[in-house]
Structure 1
Amino acid sequence: MSIKGKVVIITGASSGIGEATAKKLAKEGAKVVLTARRKEKLNKLKEEIEKDGGLAMVVTGDVTEKGDFKKIVSQTLEKFKGIDAIINNAGLMPLSYIKNLHTDEWDTMVDVNIKGVMNGVAAVLPTFMEQKSGNIINISSSAGRKYYPGGAVYCATKAAVKMFSEGLRQELAPKYGINVTSIEPGFVATELTETITDDEIKKDLIPMVKDLTTLEAEDIAEAIFYALAQPKRANINDIYIMPTDQKE
Structure 2
Amino acid sequence: NNLNDLILLLTSLIGSFFILLISPILYFYQVKDNKQFKDPKTIVITGASSGLGSSLAIEYSIKSRGIKLGLVGRNKERLEKVKDECVKNGAQVEMALIDITDKEKLERWLLDFNERNPIDIVYANAAVTELTLNKDLNFSDRIYKTIDTNVYGILNTVLPILPSFQEKRNGQVVIVSSLATNTNFVYAGYTGSKGFATSFALTLRNRMSMCGVGVSVVCCGYIETPMSEPLQEELVFSVKPEEAAKITIRGVEANQAYIGFSRRMLIMTQLIHLIPGNLKDTFNNFLNKSWPFHDYN
Task: Please give the range of the TM-score, normalised by the shorter of the 2 chains.
Answer: 0.7 to 0.9
Q: TM-score scaled to structure 1, two decimals?
A: 0.83
Equivalent residue, structure 1, for 2:234: 208
Q: Could you give the per-residue CA deviations for residues 148-168 of structure 1, whole angstroms, max 9, x where no partner exists?
A: 2x3222111111100000121
Alignment of 1:120 onto 2:157: yes
Equivalent residue, structure 2, for 1:228: 252
How far is the alpha carbon of 1:59 from its aligned partner? 1.6
CA distance in 1, matches of 2:263, 2:187: 18
Considering fraction of residues, name the structure with more helix: 2
| Residues 1:101 and 1:43: Cα distance change in structure 2 (over 3 Å) | closer
Checking the alignment, whether the CA contact within 8 Å between 1:3 and 1:28 is kept in structure 2 is no
How far is the alpha carbon of 1:101 from its aligned partner? 5.5
Q: Could you give the per-residue CA deviations for residues 103-154 of structure 1, whole angstroms, max 9, x where no partner exists?
A: 1110111011111001111111121111111101000000122112x32221
Equivalent residue, structure 2, for 1:152: 188
Q: Could you give the per-residue CA deviations for residues 52-111 of structure 1, whole angstroms, max 9, x where no partner exists?
A: 22221112211111112223213323442x111100000011249xxx951111011101
Q: Could you give the per-residue CA deviations for residues 35-61 of structure 1, whole angstroms, max 9, x where no partner exists?
A: 011222222211111112222111221
Checking the alignment, whether the CA contact within 8 Å between 2:71 and 2:93 is kept in structure 1 is yes
CA distance in 2, matches of 1:215, 1:186: 8
Alignment of 1:240 onto 2:260: yes
SS at the partner of 1:214? coil
SS at the partner of 1:240? strand
What is the percentage of aligned positions where both structures have the same residue? 26
What is the one-letter code of the residue matched to 1:162?
T
CA distance in 2, matches of 1:93, 1:69: 21
CA distance in 1, matches of 2:47, 2:74: 8
Size of the alignment, in residue pairs?
A: 227
Alignment of 1:51 onto 2:77: no
Checking the alignment, whether the CA contact within 8 Å between 1:26 and 1:56 is kept in structure 2 is no
Checking the alignment, whether the CA contact within 8 Å between 1:215 and 1:243 is kept in structure 2 is no
Equivalent residue, structure 1, for 2:204: 168
CA distance in 2, matches of 1:151, 1:25: 32
CA distance in 2, matches of 1:57, 1:222: 22
Q: Could you give the per-residue CA deviations for residues 167-193 of structure 1, whole angstroms, max 9, x where no partner exists?
A: 21111112x111111100111101113
CA distance in 1, matches of 2:82, 2:233: 33
Listed as ranges, the gaps of 5+ residues in structure 2 are 1-35, 270-297
CA distance in 1, matches of 2:232, 2:96: 35
| Residues 1:105 and 1:162: Cα distance change in structure 2 (over 3 Å) | same
CA distance in 2, matches of 1:101, 1:65: 22
SS at the partner of 2:217? strand
Alignment of 1:141 onto 2:178: yes
| Residues 1:225 and 1:101: Cα distance change in structure 2 (over 3 Å) | same
CA distance in 2, matches of 1:183, 1:214: 15
CA distance in 2, matches of 1:18, 1:28: 15
CA distance in 2, matches of 1:62, 1:240: 27
What is the one-letter code of the residue matched to 2:88?
K
CA distance in 1, matches of 2:76, 2:233: 35
1:75-94 equivalent positions in 2, closer than 5 A: 75-80=112-117, 82-94=118-130
Alignment of 1:181 onto 2:208: no
Q: 2:56 aligns with which of 9, 12, 21?
A: 21
Listed as ranges, the gaps of 5+ residues in structure 1 are 197-204
SS at the partner of 2:108? helix
CA distance in 2, matches of 1:186, 1:44: 26
What is the one-letter code of the residue matched to 2:113?
T
